[in-house]
Structure 1
Amino acid sequence: MRIEMKDTGVEVQMSSWLFKQLKLHLEQEWKYQPREKGLSLIECTAENENTICPRLRNAKVEDLWSLTNFFGFATETFVLAVNILDRFLALMKVKPKHLSCIGVCCFQLAAQVVEEQCNIPSLHDVIRISQCKCTASDLKRMEKIISEKLHFDFKATTALTFLHLYHTIILCHTSERKELLNLDKLEAQLKACNCRLVFSKAKPSVLALCLLSLEVQTLKSIELFEIVLCIQKYSKISDSDLLYWRELVSKCLADYSSPACCKPDHKKLVWIVSRRTAQNLQNSYYSVPELPTIPEVGCFDGSESEDSCEDMSCGEESLSSSPPSDLEGSFFFDLKPKSKWPALSFDS
């Protein structure tokens, strides 16, 4: 099977460059996947254990989505923040009370990679908006721990990288109307998948192709389907892998789109406040006692650092830091809060 395209020099060069980029990212994606052993340990963790369980991880990802929306950052910032978070959690044994500080650090690290420097908020602003109940010094120390454990390698190849590449390859080779394949819709679907820990175990190239193939199936386009098959063959993605993850992705998207779905904790999803309110938050949000040290959290192999993690308390007893009033946006596409969650629409 080969992709047909118009015989113009520019388009041939573009196609060649795109597939070279695809090959490069396929070779690199394994470097940025969270350790499967660490993810499996999180999956097996019960709610009452004093370490991170799937619900707490997923709730923190939802908070990262909210932070991304509040500051108007790109989808790439959110996806990269989740990647940094999962890579760290899969490497280290983290206590729940430290998760808020870790999440904000991952958000800041991702923003520093993706966003313009002039648009990156100060640590004090992020502390106020996220209400993570730790100090700027705490965040700097935690950022150092995360940076060292991930070897300062943050510009990762993610599922969003492949989603953009696949989308561009299809547009380069199709004669269909360009607007048929909506990239914003695909990005929204990817963000929904990022909110579930299980998809961190999928290869980014496979997860992206699942989303694309499901959308092409919905469009019922034979031409687009043939291009997707060509991409699958080039990427050396087996039918069994694609079918396995496609089923999980399809179920996830169906769950999020269903009004009957039990959505995550409502309070965690609606804490975004207006900029006016953010400027007038009480000074008490700055009144967090300085901590003498933030020790390194223990590794999954059972070893602990010299300092105990119990000393690293940021005054956080739960992950729910949402103020109960002045709610001006919700988690999914800034819908007004309602008594029940509406269906999540991926249409832009």
Structure 2
Amino acid sequence: MIDTIPEPEDVPFTVQLKALLDQETRYQPKLCGLRIIESAQENGLRMTARLRDFEVKDLLSLTRFFGFCADTFSLAVSLLDRFLSVMKIQPKHLSCVGLCCFYIAIKSSEEENVPAASELIRISQSRFTVSDMMRMEKIILEKLHWKVRAPTPLLFLRLFHSFILQQLDMDSKKSLNIERLEAQLKACHCSFAFTKIKPSLLALAILAFEVQEQGLCELTETQDTLQLQSHIKGGDLVCVRELVGKCLMEYSSTKCSRPSNRKLRWLISGRTARQLKRSYYKIAHLPTIPEVAS
């Protein structure tokens, strides 16, 4: 049976937060597996952090193409990172793993228009079959023990945002825009650096970064309250907030790209990283971080 997190209705903030905090550790990617990926060399034989980031950007492009919600993308990234941290896969299988995680997330997020597996394969220009995808989906679910709907950073971000809005006047509410915060989270999802960070910490760090950027000094006490209730150390929050700022700066100044199919085959054949770098192609429909309303 697929494990799910019930949608709270009129549940007090503290109860919702405790429920998410109680579960987030169980859904974290395995650190040992992430370290193996982080230390892997770009030789086409092992999964690397760079290839993981390329795949996440592909999933983000597909999310935008189909018009799926942010929940679907955030859950797909969670599934992908959890699976990669417990299974050693070859780079040539990454696109199948990524698309299967995306498909599972689509169905788990209860999207209105769920595309057929064949349509996903066609749009993503993948070279595996529907049967390949169905087999891989079964493997992913079994390795994750059918625990699908993880407490993602997006769930924490929305919960924190709703809590903090209660402390703001109308003008300040416009400055702390949830769409902008979600776009910032999507950018962070595209960086392997955040895979080791707890969802609650990442969500609060994004919120703290935006509070700092917008100069909302009146929220300092509320932010401290959230930090205390989430059992987050001040030093950890500062470090991750700075990491978020660095990520967003790089994201806004760097063209998002991934290796072409031809180049990926070269990489698998043991070609050099320089050859890989020369054949990246741009992904359309990646999110821009909206400006704050004046």
TM-score per shorter chain, which class? 0.7 to 0.9
> 1:313: which partner in 2?
none
Count how many residue pairs are aligned between Structure 1 and Structure 2.
Answer: 270
The letter of the residue matching 1:98 is: H
> 2:134: which partner in 1?
140
> 1:347: which partner in 2?
291
How far apart are the structure 2 equivalents of 1:85 and 1:174?
36
1:331 shift after superposition:
3.7
- List structure 1 runs of 4+ shifted beyond 4 angstroms: none
1:129 matches 2:123? yes
How far apart are the structure 1 equivalents of 2:167 and 2:290?
25
**190 and 63 in structure 1: CA distance in 2 versus 1, 3 angstrom threshold:** same
Instruction: State the identity as a percent.
Output: 47
* Bigger-Rg structure (1/2): 1
Q: Secondary structure at the match of 2:151?
A: coil
How far apart are the structure 1 equivalents of 2:194 and 2:290?
18
1:17 matches 2:17? no
Q: Secondary structure at the match of 1:155?
A: coil
1:196 shift after superposition:
0.8
How far apart are the structure 2 equivalents of 1:63 and 1:318?
19
Q: Secondary structure at the match of 2:166?
A: helix
CA contact (8 A) 2:65 2:285 kept: no
CA contact (8 A) 2:54 2:258 kept: no
> 1:244: which partner in 2?
239
Q: Secondary structure at the match of 2:164?
A: helix
Deviation per CA, 1:19-66, whole angstroms, max 9, x where unpaired? 210111011111111001101110000001511011111100000001
Q: Secondary structure at the match of 1:227?
A: helix
CA contact (8 A) 1:217 1:225 kept: no
**88 and 267 in structure 1: CA distance in 2 versus 1, 3 angstrom threshold:** closer
1:162 matches 2:146? no
Deviation per CA, 1:115-141, whole angstroms, max 9, x where unpaired? 33x510001101100111111110000
1:317 shift after superposition:
2.9
1:181 matches 2:176? yes
> Which has a greater percent of helix?
2
Q: Secondary structure at the match of 2:12?
A: helix
> 2:248: which partner in 1?
253
> 1:153: which partner in 2?
147
Deviation per CA, 1:52-99, whole angstroms, max 9, x where unpaired? 011111100000001111110001100100100000000000001111
Q: Secondary structure at the match of 1:92?
A: coil
How far apart are the structure 2 equivalents of 1:216 and 1:264?
26
> 1:317: which partner in 2?
265
CA contact (8 A) 1:73 1:115 kept: no
Q: Secondary structure at the match of 1:317?
A: helix
Q: CA RMSD in A?
A: 2.4
CA contact (8 A) 2:184 2:289 kept: no
1:33 matches 2:21? no
How far apart are the structure 1 equivalents of 2:149 and 2:290?
27
1:172 shift after superposition:
2.6
- Superposed, which structure 2 residues align to 1:199-218 within 5 Å? 199-218=194-213
1:332 matches 2:276? no
CA contact (8 A) 1:42 1:54 kept: yes
1:79 matches 2:71? no
How far apart are the structure 2 equivalents of 1:221 and 1:249?
18
